[in-house]
Every structure is written in C-alpha cells, then in structure tokens.
C-alpha cells in the first residue's frame, strides 16, 4: 500500500505537523470527520490501542502482532515495508488494520513523536483545506497579534523564535522547510535555512537560497523585531539558522513541528504553515480577477483566459507550477465568483484590525458563498 505523510508528501517518515489528523489522534474525532472517514472506507484509530510492534533482529527487524505472535503474513509485511519507517526510530507502533487512518507512529532520536497516515486520509485533508480557509482568515488577526507579543519576549525562548518564523511565513510565503530536502537535495525552507542564507542590515533582511524544485529565492523583508531575532539566532551554535534556548539553557533547532505546534496553540485550530500559502494565493487571485472583471466581456473564453493569467501570476508569487497552484492554492469560490460575475458585486470593503482590505474581501466572499 502506498502512503503519504501529512501535510508533506515525502517518502521518509517525519514529525507530524500537528495537522487535523494529529488533532484527531490526540483528542477525538469530530462527527463530520467520522462521517468522512466512513465514506472513505477508513477507520479512526490511535496508538493507545494494541498494535504491531517492531523488534530488531540482527541487521533487520521482525514484527509481533497484538497477541504476541510473529507476523508472517506476506500482505501485512508488504504493507509495513511501504511505510518506510526509518530504522533508527524507537517505540514503533504499527496499525494492524490496513484501513486505519493512522498507519504507524514512532519516536525519532530527539524523542519526538512521528506519524504515518493512510494515503486516503491524506486525500481527505487535501479536500478539507479549502473548507477551513474562512476559519483561517477569521483567526488571522488574533494570530498576528499574538506573534507581535511573542516577538517582544525577553531572551530566545521557543515561542519568540517560532513567532519570528510565523511572521516570515506570513510576509514571504516561503515554505516552512523539510530537513530531508535540505539534507538530500540541498533545497531549503524557513526552518532549514542556514546562517549563510540571510543578510541582515539594520531592520532589513535578505534571504537568498534554493528552495523546493530547485527554485531560486531572493526575498527581502523589512522588520526590526524579526531582524533582531535572526541576528540573535545566528549568534547561537548550530547548523540551522532558527534556534531557540530551552528552559535548561540548551540550544534547540526550530523545526516545522515546532512552528505548527505554535500555530495550533495560538489559534486553537488545526492550522499549519501551509495555510498561509493557501490564504495568500486565494487573496491574490481574487485581487487580480477583480481588476480585470470590469474590462472582461461576457465571453466565456475571455473569462477563462483571465483566470488562467491570474493563476499564472499567483503561481509565480508562490513559486509553484500553475497546475499545483490552481489545484492547491486558489479557493474554487474565487474562480466561481469571477466566472459568474460576482467578483465585484459586493462593493467596497474596509480593512480590519490586522487584516488588509483584500484579505477582508476574500473572507467576506467565503462567508457569503458558504465556502467556509
């Protein structure tokens, strides 16, 4: 059985990004999620129930079922092999049910819990990401206010450095980063950047690095508080740029797991770093389509071309392909509103506290169309 991780798509198992699936594992599943699971032919499970355990034998492993019997079934062993659980992981739990939404958990060298999910659960999350976009827009002002407060903290605690990364996610739309890509491909995201990738002059930061798919990034930000955090991070020992000092005085890297845990803590929701890109892509697409709406005729071909041009522009901003951008980063309600002539039907929209006018417009559109 093939499988993908949430929210990324890497073949190697890694720390969960506190997505909706992890929230379900930690605190129960909402009724609508239960229904979606049943419709997908999946069953909600968690690793507190008996599962298959992994035991090292020589240079390899054997597996023991919940009854203490060695697993010899070829189909089960083949399924386990597709999970590609790294040999170094400890306390490995494997779901005995092939239809379990959670297929395996384990602990990495730092003791962090990591998750492997069923690919159909991954697909459900992809479908749901648009459904929660209005919720993200609603909590964004509160999140930005908390980031501002945490950036003012003394010292270099985890919350302060995580807040700096979140501010950069919001401002630059750069991906959060995956250690495996940095290690194997030398492509980087915010949490895997090295000190050499940034230049700080006063309050201005310039990030220059190679991102996912080999795309060159040259991004500038003017932010005094983030610049101060980055300078302090660069002075701490360690390979990665973003680091914090824990309660024992130990220097720790900030990873995507830390960033997404911070987002969940602050918002009380199941949001991840990727939601910033989906939000920004939809905001930008709506703004572009509103500009051309008055000039575009009723001819469908012309409107379709305008949509294609807008998606192309958004893709360039997000540093994505056009196909991925349309599928993953622009809410369908934005395109539908333009094609139906509703993109400019709602009149002027004022900015809100910590929410720009173009963001407030998208939020109103999502609420109006019931796309929340």
* Whole-number pLDDT of residue 16: 35
* 17-26, 169-178, 330-339: segment of lowest average pLDDT: 17-26
Reported residue count of the chain is 372
Mean pLDDT for the stretch of residues 80-91: 91
Domains contained in the chain, CATH given? 20-129 (3.30.66.10), 139-267 (3.90.15.10), 275-369 (1.10.132.120)
* β-strand partners of 162: none
Q: The sheet that has 113-117: what strands, in order across it?
A: 60-64, 52-57, 90-94, 102-107, 113-117
What local confidence, expressed as pLDDT, does residue 23 receive?
36
Q: Distances in Å between the alpha carbon of 191 and those of 75, 129, 131? A: 38, 22, 27
Asked if pLDDT for residue 343 goes beyond 60, the answer is yes
Q: How confident is the model at residue 372 (pLDDT cuts 50, 70, 90)?
A: low
208-213 long-range CB contacts below 8 Å, 24 or more apart?
210/186, 211/174, 211/175, 211/187, 211/319, 212/175, 212/181, 212/187, 212/319, 213/187
Query: Does residue 222 surpass a pLDDT of 90?
Result: yes
Give the rounded percent of residues in the chain with a pLDDT score beyond 90: 57
Average pLDDT over residues 92-113: 89
The pLDDT value given to residue 108: 85
| Predicted TM-score of the model (pTM) | 0.68
What does pLDDT average to over the chain? Answer: 85
Ranked by mean pLDDT, the top range of 28-32, 60-64, 104-108, 112-116 is 60-64
pLDDT bucket at 224, cuts 50 / 70 / 90? very high
In this predicted structure, the answer to whether residue 22 has a pLDDT above a threshold of 60 is no
Average pLDDT of span 139-147? 96
Average pLDDT rounded to a whole number, residues 192-212: 96
Tell me: pLDDT of 30 over 50: no
The better pLDDT of the pair 58, 167 is held by: 167
Highest mean pLDDT among 3-7, 15-19, 81-85, 238-242: 238-242
Rounded Cα distance between 111 and 78, Å, is 27
Indicate if the pLDDT at residue 13 is higher than 50: no
How many other β-carbons are positioned within 10 Å of the β-carbon of residue 56?
Answer: 9
- Residue 92 pLDDT > 80, yes or no? yes
Per-residue confidence band for 293, with pLDDT thresholds at 50, 70 and 90 = confident
Q: Which band of pLDDT confidence, cut at 50, 70 and 90, is reported for residue 25?
A: very low
How distant, in Å, are the alpha carbons of 36, 47, 214 from that of 30? Answer: 10, 18, 39
pLDDT (average), residues 146-173? 97
């Amino acid at each position: 059985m093939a499988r993908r991780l949430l929210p990324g798509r890497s073949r190697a198992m890694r720390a969960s990004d506190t997505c909706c699936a992890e929230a379900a594992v930690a605190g129960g599943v909402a009724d609508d999620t239960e229904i979606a699971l049943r419709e997908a032919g999946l069953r909600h499970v968690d690793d507190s129930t008996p599962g298959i355990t992994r035991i090292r034998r020589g240079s390899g492993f054997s597996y023991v079922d919940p009854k203490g019997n060695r697993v010899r079934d070829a189909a089960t062993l083949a399924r386990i092999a597709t999970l590609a659980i790294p040999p170094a992981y400890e306390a490995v739990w494997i779901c005995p049910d092939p239809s379990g939404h959670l297929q395996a958990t384990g602990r990495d060298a730092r003791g962090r819990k990591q998750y492997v999910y069923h690919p159909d659960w991954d697909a459900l999350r992809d479908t749901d990401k648009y459904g929660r976009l209005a919720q993200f827009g609603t909590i964004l002002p509160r999140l930005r206010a908390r980031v501002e407060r945490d950036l003012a903290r003394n010292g270099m605690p985890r919350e302060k450095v995580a807040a700096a990364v979140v501010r950069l996610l919001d401002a630059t739309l750069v991906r959060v980063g995956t250690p495996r890509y940095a290690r194997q491909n030398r492509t980087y995201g915010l949490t895997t950047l090295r000190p050499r990738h940034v230049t700080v002059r006063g309050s201005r930061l310039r990030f220059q690095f190679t991102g996912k798919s080999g795309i060159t990034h040259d991004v500038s930000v003017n932010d005094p508080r983030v610049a101060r955090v980055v300078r302090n991070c660069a002075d701490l020992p360690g390979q990665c740029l973003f680091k914090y000092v824990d309660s024992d005085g130990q220097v720790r890297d900030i990873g995507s797991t830390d960033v997404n845990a911070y987002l969940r803590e602050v918002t009380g929701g199941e949001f991840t770093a990727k939601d910033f890109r989906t939000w920004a892509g939809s905001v930008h697409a709506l703004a572009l389509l509103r500009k051309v709406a008055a000039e575009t005729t009723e001819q469908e071909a012309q409107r379709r071309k305008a949509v294609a041009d807008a998606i192309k522009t958004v893709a360039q901003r997000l540093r994505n392909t056009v196909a991925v951008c349309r599928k993953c980063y622009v809410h369908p309600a934005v395109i539908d509103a333009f094609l139906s002539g509703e993109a400019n039907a709602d009149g002027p929209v004022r900015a809100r506290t910590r929410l720009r006018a173009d963001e407030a417009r998208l939020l109103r559109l999502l609420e109006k169309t019931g796309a929340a």
